[in-house]
Each structure stands twice: as structure tokens, then as C-alpha cells.
Amino acid sequence: MPEVDLLLDEQALRASRLVTSLQESDPAALSLGIKLGDISPGRVTLEQPIRPEMLNGHGIVHGGYLFLLADTAFAYCCASLGRLSVTRNAEIAFIAAAHGGTALTATAAIRTTYGRNSICDISITTDHGKLLAEFRGTGSVMSTVK
Amino acid sequence: MPEVDLLLDEQALRASRLVTSLQESDPAALSLGIKLGDISPGRVTLEQPIRPEMLNGHGIVHGGYLFLLADTAFAYCCASLGRLSVTRNAEIAFIAAAHGGTALTATAAIRTTYGRNSICDISITTDHGKLLAEFRGTGSVMSTVK
Amino acid sequence: MPEVDLLLDEQALRASRLVTSLQESDPAALSLGIKLGDISPGRVTLEQPIRPEMLNGHGIVHGGYLFLLADTAFAYCCASLGRLSVTRNAEIAFIAAAHGGTALTATAAIRTTYGRNSICDISITTDHGKLLAEFRGTGSVMSTVK
Amino acid sequence: MPEVDLLLDEQALRASRLVTSLQESDPAALSLGIKLGDISPGRVTLEQPIRPEMLNGHGIVHGGYLFLLADTAFAYCCASLGRLSVTRNAEIAFIAAAHGGTALTATAAIRTTYGRNSICDISITTDHGKLLAEFRGTGSVMSTVK
């Protein structure tokens, strides 16, 4: 196996270890059934089942739960770079209502880091591939880990 | 009682009726224990108990739940004007971590309406009066009710 | 004159002096003809003439100039509290197109300050009183002055 | 030349024609010296010289001008898809101050379109390659052209 692939594997393993460690101490994510998907440095995918108590008065997934999943993906995506961060500002555009579908997917990618800050973009889709929301967050590092 | 006060009472009653009706069909709000406080046209206060499963990996209330409460207050605040609305874009600034406190309060006020759109500002505080987040949402009317 | 009024006068004078001092060294604001209106601690009003070169391809004032005026008002509003600040994040909702009118007005008010940070809300209207845009900015103090 | 390349050339030519047509009727962009760079469907690059009157009270390019360039790139990027759009909501994060450099570059890419709406991300850099700001806009189509 070429050396560069070994390096990439090591980086992905480290990213995965950092995110897993953060999630294990995250009651909010665990209680909602949020699961880790693909993880590499600066890129994280999460999945979450849609439960009846996540619906709002219009019979669709409450926008707050879409935001919560995106914000979780943001924190995990920063953690994948060894940067334990808190969200300072976040913006979300709601694109479509979640009719049908049994799960949500968050696909997060760091757009840029500067000083202690990160900007991260997250798309929320259903397991049917329907795009529900686009989230952008700006966060600050609280502490760094290796 | 002066006529103007009677009118104000009627408007507040109607606003309260509209919001109560929306909440009764809102599983997300009911399952989280979100309760209605003061309601008048364009102004809504909500309260929500802090539960252990709302904490994140840092031991503080997950920002997603602060957003969810604010977004609920946004929808109810629009409903208080007879405008059943969906959030299109929302922005939140996280100001302080919720250490201590046993409940959250959302204080929502419509800033402006234009055409089918509304802008609404919401402050989230603890029951100790600590300011946690400031939310601004832009929403669109789906339907109107009397 | 009661003592409390004297105090208010002194505070308004100091706020006015701080903002005037910032504006005198601000080529962008001066070149656009931005003028100071009412100033008190945490509240600032600005006016700006509408010039032909501020129009976009649709024949209306370019949204960038509405933002620029609002962002200037944000900086001046922070300065009115003795906090020389830079904008970190800002969000703007465009509400109506500026047809007619010969000037823009920005009305800025600090919503909250926390640590070195400020959140400030600014409404942009025409001199005909038409609401064009709502801006919210989050900024950080670079230095403080008395 | 393969057929697919011819098709790509045609699409790029059409995108370029649409954007050029919009710019020719845009006094704000022309008066600031904003020039078109690479254009293809959903992707636009703009350049703008830094002029003394664009500096603010801190001696750096006024954030309002960074926003204005980004917002122009947003409109042109929508136009490159034949969608003449207005910005409804926009969010900008200011990342670094523009010290040095003689020009600004905006690099815009459509993130998604849904119904009459578009979300577009724009990075603003100096000609030295320094990242100054990240902008995200949500816009609505006014009319479509071929």
C-alpha cells in the first residue's frame, strides 16, 4: 500500500476517534439516535431516524430538529480536525418540508478555518435524497486535542 | 371599562386562541414540555423545562434546543397575528452557555411584516434571567386564519 | 435642570463626540455623503443621499449600498458606547426595492452586549418612510475609548 | 472536437452573454470598476480595484464594499443560469482585514436552486490570495431569460 494512502488512513482513523469520543459524551445526540456515518478530517456525515415527536403542527419535521442535527454535525466536523468548538453564529435556510422519509442525513464540510474560528456548511436531506435545509455555522475553538 | 381596553382584551384573547390551537397539534412542542406564557398580537412568551437529554458533549444545553424553542416561538408569534407561517431563513447568535437554571424562556416579538413575510426577533434566557441566545427569523405565510 | 437630565445630556454629548471622531477618519462614509443624525449611547441615526451610481441593473438602489449604510451605522452605534468594534457576522433581509425617494435613513439600536461582543439591529428606510431592509450584526471590540 | 465539449462551450458562451448583458445596465458595478472574470453556468468570478474611498475609519476596506462585491457576484451567478434574481436574505462572515493588495476577487458558486430560489456562496479574497469574507445569499427569481 502506498505511503500516502497509509497517511490518509491514519488521518481518517484519528478523525473518527475524535468524533466518536465527542459523541459518546453527548446525551442530546445519543437520545435522538444520531449515528456517525463517514468521517474524515473536515468532513462528517450523520444519520438520524425521524420520530413522531419530531413533527410540528404542520405534520412535518420541526425545523428545530433539522437545525439540531446540522449543529451537531458542525461540532463533530470541527472535532474531526481536533478543534473542540462552540457555535457562535449560525444561519439556516429551510428549503423543503420533510414529507415521507424515515431518516435524516447531515453532510458537513469545513469551508475554511481562520485563527480559532471555523466556517462549516451542512446540507440536511431525507433518506430519499430530498434536500431539506442548508446550514452555515461560524464557531470558535474552546480547546484542541490530538 | 373603556372601549379601547375591551378591544385590546379581545385581540389578546383571539391571539391566545390562535396560538393555543396551533400548539395543541404540535407534537414537537408538547413532547418537550413547551408551555405558553403571555400572548398578545405579535408578542409571545414560551417556557420549557431543561431536561438531561437536552445537554450536549460539553454539559450545557445543546444549541439545537435553544434554536428549536426560538423557532417554535417564531411560529407561534406569527400565529398570534393570524398568520400561519413557515420559517424560510433564520439566524442565531449563541451568547452564553446554560449552566444552572432549570428552565428556558423565549421572548418573541414581530419586528415587521411585509406582504406574506414576517421578521421576528426572539431572546432565549434561563429562568435565572441569563441571556443565552438571540434569534432572528424570516418567514412566509402558508395560510391565514381569523 | 434636574441632575438626571444633566447626566443624560453628558452621555449624549460623549456619544456624539465619539461617533463624530470615528466618522471624521472614515473615507468610505464621507465620500458617500453619509451624515450623522440623532446620537445617544447605543442609538444612532444616519442619512445618505441616493446617487445615480448607487443603482443596480434593475434601476433600484444596489443592496450592497443598503448593507454598507447599515454596517456603518453598526460601527457608529458601537462607538457611541465607547466600543470601537469590527463586524464579525452580519445578516440582512431585503424587504422592498427603493423606487423614488432621494435619501436613505439608517436607524440603529444595540440589542445586547456580552463580553467584547455586541449585537445591533438596523432598519434602512427611504426619506418617504418606506422600509427597505433589516440588518443584524454581531461585532467584537478592537479597543475601547472614553 | 467532441460533441460534449461543443455543448459546454455553448453553455459557457450563453452564461457569459447573460452576465455581460446584466452588467452593461448596472451603474453600481460599472462605477466601481467591477470586471467580469471566468463565467460558466452557476459559477462567476469578479474583480474590483481597491480605491482610497473604499477604506473605513480603521484604514481597511469597508465591509460594506466586500458585501457589495459579493452581492453583485450573487446576482451575476444567478444570471449565468438565466435566472434574473433579487437577494432576499444574505449572511456574511468577515474573516480578515484587507491590508495591502490592490484588488478584490469574488468567486461565486451556486450551491442549490429550489423553485424560484437560489442559494449561492461567495468568497472574497485580495489579489494576494488572502481570504477576507465568506458570503451566503438566498435569492428569488424575478424573471427568466434565454
Runs of H (alpha helix) within B1-146: 3-24, 27-31, 63-79
Q: Chain B residues with CB inside 8 Å of A52's CB?
A: 27
Arithmetic mean of pLDDT, C19-24:
92
pLDDT value of residue B144: 75
pLDDT value of residue C82: 92
pLDDT value of residue D131: 97
pLDDT value of residue C71: 97
Substitution target in B87, B89, B136 with the highest count of D β-carbons within 10 Å is B89
Question: In the Cβ-directed half-sphere of B22, how many Cα atoms lie within 13 Å?
Answer: 31
Inter-chain residue contact B88 with D91, CB threshold 8 Å = no
Arithmetic mean of pLDDT, C123-138:
96
Inter-chain residue contact D89 with C94, CB threshold 8 Å = yes
Q: All domains of chain C, ordered by start, with CATH?
A: 3-144 (3.10.129.10)
Return the closest-CA partner of residue A49 out of A106, A99, A102, A101. A102
Arithmetic mean of pLDDT, B85-94:
96
Confidence of residue A34 (pLDDT cuts 50, 70, 90): very high
Arithmetic mean of pLDDT, B43-63:
92
> Which helix (H) or strand (E) segment is A49 a member of?
strand A43-49
Compare all CA atoms of chain B with the CA of C117 and give the residue at the minimum distance.
B95
pLDDT value of residue A36: 97
∠A20-A24-A27 over CA atoms, to 5°? 135
Inter-chain residue contact C52 with D27, CB threshold 8 Å = yes
Arithmetic mean of pLDDT, D22-27:
91
pLDDT digits (tens, 9 = 90+) for B98-137: 776 799 999 999 999 999 999 999 999 999 899 999 999 9
Q: Which chains are within 8 Å of B by 3+ CB pairs?
A: A, C, D
Give the range among B1-15, C73-87, D60-74, D127-141 with minimum mean pLDDT: B1-15
Give the range among A88-97, B49-58, B106-115 with minimum mean pLDDT: B49-58
Contact C65, D69 (CB under 8 A): no
Confidence of residue A37 (pLDDT cuts 50, 70, 90): very high
Contact B32, B48 (CB under 8 A): yes
pLDDT value of residue B101: 75
- pLDDT cut 90: percent of chain D above it: 78
Inter-chain residue contact B52 with A142, CB threshold 8 Å = no
Q: Is the Cβ of D99 closer than 8 Å to some Cβ of chain A?
A: no
Arithmetic mean of pLDDT, D67-91:
95
Q: Chain C residues with CB inside 8 Å of A88's CB?
A: 88-89, 138
Inter-chain residue contact D138 with B88, CB threshold 8 Å = yes
Return the closest-CA partner of residue B100 out of B130, B141, B135. B130
Residue B114 to chain C, least CA–CA distance (Å): 7
Confidence of residue B146 (pLDDT cuts 50, 70, 90): low
pLDDT value of residue A64: 96
Give the range among A126-130, C7-11, D50-54, D130-134 with minimum mean pLDDT: C7-11
pTM given for the model: 0.94
* Distance in angstroms (rounded) separating the CA atoms of residues C67 and C95: 12
pLDDT digits (tens, 9 = 90+) for C68-108: 999 999 999 999 999 999 999 999 999 998 776 799 999 99
pLDDT value of residue C120: 98
Confidence of residue A125 (pLDDT cuts 50, 70, 90): very high
Does the structure show a pLDDT above 70 at A3?
no
Residues 103-142 of D with CB under 8 A from C: 142
pLDDT digits (tens, 9 = 90+) for A45-76: 999 999 999 988 778 999 999 999 999 999 99
Q: Is the Cβ of C75 closer than 8 Å to some Cβ of chain D?
A: yes
Q: Chain D residues with CB inside 8 Å of A112's CB?
A: 95, 123, 131, 134
CB pairs under 8 A between B and D: 9
> Who wins on pLDDT, C57 or D132?
D132
**Helix pair angle (B63-79, B3-24), 10° resolution:** 130
Residue C122 to chain B, least CA–CA distance (Å): 11
Q: Chain C residues with CB inside 8 Å of D75's CB?
A: 56-57
Inter-chain residue contact C95 with B112, CB threshold 8 Å = yes
Confidence of residue C40 (pLDDT cuts 50, 70, 90): very high
Give the range among A99-108, A132-141, C110-119, D112-121 with minimum mean pLDDT: A99-108
ipTM higher than the 0.90 cut = yes
Inter-chain residue contact A91 with C91, CB threshold 8 Å = yes
One-character DSSP codes across D54-75: GB-TTSSB-HHHHHHHHHHHHH
* Distance in angstroms (rounded) separating the CA atoms of residues B67 and C7: 40
Q: Is the Cβ of B91 closer than 8 Å to some Cβ of chain D?
A: yes
Q: Chain B residues with CB inside 8 Å of C123's CB?
A: 112
Inter-chain residue contact C63 with D87, CB threshold 8 Å = yes
pLDDT value of residue D9: 83
∠D83-D85-D90 over CA atoms, to 5°? 130
Phi/psi of residue A9, nearest 5 degrees: -60, -45
**Helix pair angle (A3-24, A63-79), 10° resolution:** 130
Inter-chain residue contact B134 with C114, CB threshold 8 Å = no
C-alpha cell read off for A108: 458537513
Does the structure show a pLDDT above 90 at A145?
no
Does the structure show a pLDDT above 60 at D135?
yes
Compare all CA atoms of chain A with the CA of B95 and give the residue at the minimum distance.
A88
